[in-house]
Structure formats: structure tokens, C-alpha cells
Amino acid sequence: MIDNLDSRNIYQATTMLLSGRPTKPVDVLFFHGRLFGDDTGLFELAADLVKNKMVGIVALFGNEGERVGSNIPFEANPGKTWYRKQLIEYGVPPDQIIFAAEGGYHTELESDGFLTLAAEKGWLSGAILTQPHQLLRATLGMVRAMQQQWYVMNVYTVTPPTTNWNEIVFGSQGMEAKPRVDHIVDELVRVAKYQQDGGLVSFTELFAYLEKRDRNELVLGPTERGSQLFTRGLPSGI
């Protein structure tokens, strides 16, 4: 077992997120940047959601694929301009694609940028789009961003219906190419580390958030509460 991770929490959280697709239209789709080769099925799904009016806007990350601490484009991923071009080629109208603020060189910073954009636009509902093994970390980071920015949304999760787990793709920061299945453990190691460092919420906080969301008990938009959000036992009107 990976230190600081309970397999029961991982199983429960992953199961909930993999079946967390929105049942009614949302304001925005948060499209995280993926590493080279790891975008299989994502553009098709984003375009389908827009076509079927399940998503109003597709929000892309705000960099050109630079690695953390670097200013060289396309080292970590193909970059926001390429992602926008791909979306348009799949049929997403250009006026329904928007970039988050510059920066966001990893998932945590992308979540911060997405939520900042959502607060500026007044969006109250959204969905996270990424590969299935990355949904957990991305959602834990989005809930942390809500706590830190004091802005609450109903956020759901979407992922391609099929996944080739033996496809060779690059991993974190575009550094290591190996079968997608071999990146799963790497993701869990990051979850444990980033939870310990405070960059991701705990599983308790995630489950509390999902419960309040599914019970329609979230007070959406700006809030006066910060780190106390989404802790089990708090009054329902949060």
C-alpha cells in the first residue's frame, strides 16, 4: 500500500468519479492538458458534449506546454493553441473555447486557473475532462481550489467511454513514455504526496463535497468560508 492512502478510499472515490457525468447541462468543461499521446478520446468527447448542448464553454489550460520552471514551449504537452485547433477541427465553435489565465504548468495550477476563470464569469456548474486514472487527482485539486478561493461550484467528471490501457503515452511533465496502465500507480503516488503537502483535499473532504453536491445542499458562488468547506459534520447550508 502507498503510504497515507487507504485502498477503500481510493476505490470509493474512483468509483464515484468514474460515474460522475452530469445529467443536465453545465456552464463549462474544464479540459486539463494531457501529455503527448494521452489525449485519446478527449477531443471527441468534448465535441460531443458541446454538440449535445451539455456544455456551454470549453475552458483550456493557459500555457503552451512548458514544463514547471521552464519557458520552452511543448516540452510537457502540445500546448493550448494546438488543443484549441483540435477542438475546432472536431466541430467545437471557436467562440465556445476560452483559455484560463497564463500559467498552470501542472494540474493543481490548472485547477486554480479554471476556478478563477469560473468566478470571473459567474459560472456555477462545470465538468472536469481528463483520462480516467487522472480524474481523482484533478477532482481533489478542484475541491481544494474551491476552499482556497472561497468559490463553490457543482462540478462533475467526464472521461472517455473506452480506454486503451496498453497505449504508450508520456507521463508527468512529458518525461517518461510507457503503457498508460503503468502510469496509474504514479498517479496514486502523486495523490498521496500532494495530499500530505496540502495541494489536494483529503478523501473525507471530497466525500463531504460530493454528498452535498448530490443532495443539492451546496451554496454556490462566493462564500465566506475557506478551508472549513466540505468537512463532514458541518451544517448542510454550506
Enumerate helices (H) and strands (E) in the chain, giving the number of each: 7, 9
Residues of the chain with pLDDT under 70: 1-3, 68-70, 73-75, 102-106, 171-175, 232-238
How far apart (Å, rounded) are the C-alpha atoms in residues 225 and 210?
17
CB 80 within 8 A of CB 62: yes
> How is domain 7-222 classified at the architecture level of CATH?
3-Layer(aba) Sandwich (3.40)
Count of beta carbons in the 10 Å neighbourhood of residue 225: 15
- pLDDT tens digit string along 171-201? 665 568 899 999 899 999 999 999 999 999 9
pLDDT of 3 reads 66
CB 58 within 8 A of CB 102: no
pTM reported for the whole predicted model? 0.90
Pick from 197, 188, 32: nearest CA to 104: 32
CB 115 within 8 A of CB 182: no
Please report, for residues 40, 156, 203, the alpha-carbon distance to residue 172 in angstroms, rounded to integers and kept in the order given.
Answer: 16, 24, 23
- pLDDT tens digit string along 44-69? 999 999 999 999 999 998 888 777 66
How far apart (Å, rounded) are the C-alpha atoms in residues 150 and 166?
40
pLDDT of 238 reads 45
How far apart (Å, rounded) are the C-alpha atoms in residues 27 and 123?
6
